[in-house]
Amino acid sequence: MNILEKIIARKREEISESKKQRSVSDLEKEPLFTRETSSLAGALRSSTTPRIISEFKRKSPSKGIINSHVLPEIVTKDYVNAGAAGLSVLTDIDFFGGSFADFLKAREANPQIPMLRKDFIVDEYQLFEAKTIGADVILLIAACLTPSEIAHLSRRAHDLGLEVLLEVHNAEELAVSVGQHIDIVGVNNRNLKTFETSIETSIELSELIPEQFVKISESGLKDAETIVRLYQHGYKGFLIGETFMKTANPGAALAGLQQNLTQHSNLNPLVL
């Protein structure tokens, strides 16, 4: 099995274990389940400048430990203060070192900002979990779901008031996966087979994504010049984790990038 297949196999085991511990009815009784969600798609669509979705991520299968000395409530609060449009918090335990506890701490520290539950969603049960931890957006990865699964899960997410970020890696995935219950299309610049990143992936797919979807770019984003270039191709949001998390102060790293973006915008009127 490749790494994605290993992750999904483990995820299905986790879900089976979780269902034995808490039923959907139990999840529906959690305090945050009835919380009114905030729109990430709306925040991005209305912006006239590139916006950053900042991620809290402790480790990854390709990089190992990225940063084990930071607290989610502090890092995410710093992200918000530095101008993040939204937050992404990993909840996968085994492969990314995330947890529901991390998400809940970030949610408590930032009650209003849109937050993405970053995980591998393969079962409707996980949508109810997302509601219980105060998520606004869930991620559906085209590489590990069938088109019919994406259609079903995105519809059920909307039924629960959750927005849907569909992640694609190539034109084939995009063509068969987009549907009426998708809010945001994210192009992942990382090749899942080689783990190499290339922003040319986002550029190539930019013209193929229908206009009704908010476009974001993911992975391999490190500098203002790259972000501005992709913004000019129609991308409104930029999901960045490792670039920030590998520093001692991720919030300060975002603040520095925001400053560079402002300077770049002043030099490049196409961004305004």
Question: Residue 167: what are its φ and ψ, rounded to 5°?
Answer: -105, 125
Active-site pick, 177, 188, 202, 265: 188
CA-wise closest residue to 260 among 25, 34, 50: 50
Residues 6+ apart with CB under 8 A from 74: 109, 251
CA-wise closest residue to 164 among 129, 127, 191: 127
CA-to-CA distance for 261 and 32, rounded, in angstroms?
A: 35
Active-site pick, 11, 38, 55, 77: 55
Residue entry with tokens 């085991």: 13
Q: Tell me the three state secondary structure of residue 186.
A: strand
Active-site pick, 60, 88, 217, 219: 219
Active-site pick, 11, 38, 57, 217: 57
Identify the H or E element spanning 102: helix 100-109
- The sign of the CA dihedral 106, 84, 63, 198 is positive
81: tokens are 């203060």
* Residue 218 a catalytic site member: yes
CA-to-CA distance for 164 and 170, rounded, in angstroms?
A: 18
Q: What is the Cα Rg of the chain in Å?
A: 17
Active-site pick, 11, 59, 77, 118: 118
* Residue 16 a catalytic site member: no
* Residue 20 a catalytic site member: no
Q: What is the DSSP letter of 161?
A: T
* Residue 55 a catalytic site member: yes
* Residue 167 a catalytic site member: yes
Active-site pick, 129, 173, 218, 242: 218
Residues that are catalytic = 55, 57, 118, 167, 188, 218-219
